[in-house]
């Protein structure tokens, strides 16, 4: 594990260890890029669970995918899905409800941005106007999504249940990609890069949604929280930069995200869930909770 923090920063962490809150990207970070397995992260996940430290999935995945994943992880927690476009809070979490929220299963969902139908409409218009070549999930059937992502049919079906963002594969030139991005801005849409896809969405980000969830925990636990965020791709930069501690998880090809940041950034030596696990084992070993 490489890290570059100052000793004084570590002392601050030691005092605050009981009020840690973790925001984690999924694909390529907590989940293996190819197999989507989180097995290698289980030791650390169990340790965090025993300590009562919240782990908030913060992902480009859909709410439908997260409902299944939370069951697999045997976890109940808020989730940030579709790159920050939707925040879902367990209803048992005594969360206030508002007219902007709607209920699905055991969760209240807040949409922070424009809906999926509007995004698809804009994409159709831009494509027709400039003859651009891209394929979004809306253009694909479930079998094609399954083939591209490696998800089984049922999981691919859940990945297609979008609320406010569209993953797409760009098959046109870089020059046209710039044109596309500029055109999206005219409609107040933006684009961010994940592990496999570009994601088109409204003016949402993982960091904006993360701040909202931090505020919920601050109301419950007090102001003094230390926020750790983990991620592996460009769509994670905003949350890695706004957390107290950002953890860049190395990719399978050994490359890793690089960016300027004023805060503390660790980079994992191992990739994916093994790197995730190693970070927390090291971190919790060095910053005891009592």
Instruction: Tell which positions 202-221 bind Mg ion, by CB under 5 A.
Output: none
Termini Cα distance of the chain: 24
Alpha helix (H) residue ranges in 105-196:
116-130, 142-149, 153-159, 174-186
Q: Shortest Cβ contact with Mg ion: which residue?
A: 28
Between 26 and 132, CB nearer to Mg ion: 26
Angle at 166 between CA 197 and CA 117, to 5 degrees: 170
Q: Could you tell me the smallest distance in angstroms from the CB atom of residue 194 to Mg ion?
A: 6
Our CB check for Mg ion shows the closer of 54 and 195 to be 195
Q: How far is the CB of 240 from Mg ion (least distance, A)?
A: 11
Rounded Cα distance between 94 and 200, Å, is 32
Question: Exposed, middle or buried by CB within 10 Å (0-12, 13-18, 19+), for 148?
Answer: middle
Contacts with Mg ion by CB under 5 A: the residue count is 6
Give the distance, in angstroms, between the CA of residue 128 and the centroid of all CA atoms in the same chain.
31
Q: How far is the CB of 231 from Mg ion (least distance, A)?
A: 6
- Residue 196 burial by CB count (10 A; 0-12/13-18/19+): exposed, middle or buried? middle
Q: Does 233 bind Mg ion (CB under 5 A)?
A: yes
Query: Helix, strand, or coil here: 134?
Result: strand
| Window contacting Mg ion (CB under 5 A); options: 115-123, 191-199, 250-258, 262-270 | 191-199
> And the tokens for 16?
């605050």
Beta strands 20-24 and 226-231, pairing class = parallel
| Gap between the Cα atoms of 139 and 178, Å rounded | 21
Looking at 23, 24, 28, 229, which residue binds Mg ion (CB under 5 A)? 28
Q: For the CB of residue 122, give the shortest distance to Mg ion in the complex, in Å.
A: 25
SS3 call for 78: coil
**60 three-class SS:** coil
Instruction: Give the nearer residue to Mg ion in terms of CB position, either 27 or 40.
Output: 27
Q: How far apart are CA 188 and CA 114, in angstroms?
A: 9
Catalytic residue status for 74: no
Site for Mg ion in 71-110 (CB under 5 A): none
Nearer to Mg ion, 28 or 273 (CB): 28
Q: Considering the rule CB under 5 A, would residue 25 count as an interface residue with Mg ion?
A: yes
**Interface with Mg ion, residue 232, by CB under 5 A:** yes
* Shortest distance (Å) from residue 124 CB to Mg ion: 28
In angstroms, rounded to a whole number, what is the distance separating the alpha carbons of residues 14 and 37?
31
How far apart are the C-alpha atoms of 200 and 125, rounded to whole Å?
Answer: 14
Q: Single out the residue of 136, 195, 246, 272 in contact with Mg ion (rule: CB under 5 A).
A: 195
Compare residues 27 and 183 and give the one whose CB is closer to Mg ion.
27
The stretch among 22-30, 165-173, 214-222, 279-287 that binds Mg ion (CB under 5 A) is: 22-30
Tell whether residue 136 is a contact of Mg ion (CB under 5 A).
no
CB of 247 to Mg ion, least distance (A): 12
Nearer to Mg ion, 28 or 136 (CB): 28
Judged by the rule CB under 5 A, the positions of this chain that interact with Mg ion are: 25, 27-28, 195, 232-233
Which residues are part of the catalytic machinery?
25
């Amino acid at each position: 594990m490489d890290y570059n923090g100052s000793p004084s920063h570590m002392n601050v962490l030691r005092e605050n260890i009981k009020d840690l809150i973790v925001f984690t990207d999924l694909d390529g970070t907590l989940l293996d890029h190819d197999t989507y397995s989180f097995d290698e992260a289980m030791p650390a996940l169990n340790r965090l669970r025993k300590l009562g430290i919240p782990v908030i999935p913060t992902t480009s995945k859909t709410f439908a995918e997260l409902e299944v994943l939370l069951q697999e992880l045997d976890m109940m927690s808020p989730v940030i899905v579709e790159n920050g476009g939707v925040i879902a809070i367990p209803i048992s979490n005594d969360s206030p409800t508002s007219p902007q929220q709607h209920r699905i299963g055991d969760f209240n969902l807040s949409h922070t941005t424009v809906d999926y139908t509007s995004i698809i409409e804009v994409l159709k218009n831009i494509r027709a106007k400039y003859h651009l070549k891209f394929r979004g999930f809306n253009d694909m059937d479930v079998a094609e999504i399954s083939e591209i992502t490696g998800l089984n049919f049922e999981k691919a079906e859940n990945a297609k249940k979008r609320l406010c963002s569209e993953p797409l594969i760009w098959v046109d030139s870089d020059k046209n990609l710039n044109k596309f991005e500029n055109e999206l801005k005219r409609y107040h849409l933006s684009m961010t890069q994940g592990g496999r896809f570009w994601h088109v969405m409204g003016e949402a980000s993982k960091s904006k949604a993360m701040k909202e969830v931090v505020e919920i925990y601050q109301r419950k636990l007090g102001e003094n929280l230390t926020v750790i965020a983990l991620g592996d791709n460009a769509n994670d930069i905003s949350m890695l930069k706004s957390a107290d501690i950002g953890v860049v998880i190395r990719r399978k090809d050994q490359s890793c995200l690089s960016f300027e940041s004023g805060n503390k950034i660790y980079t994992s030596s191992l990739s994916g869930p093994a790197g995730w696990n190693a970070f927390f084992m090291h971190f919790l070993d060095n910053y005891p909770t009592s």
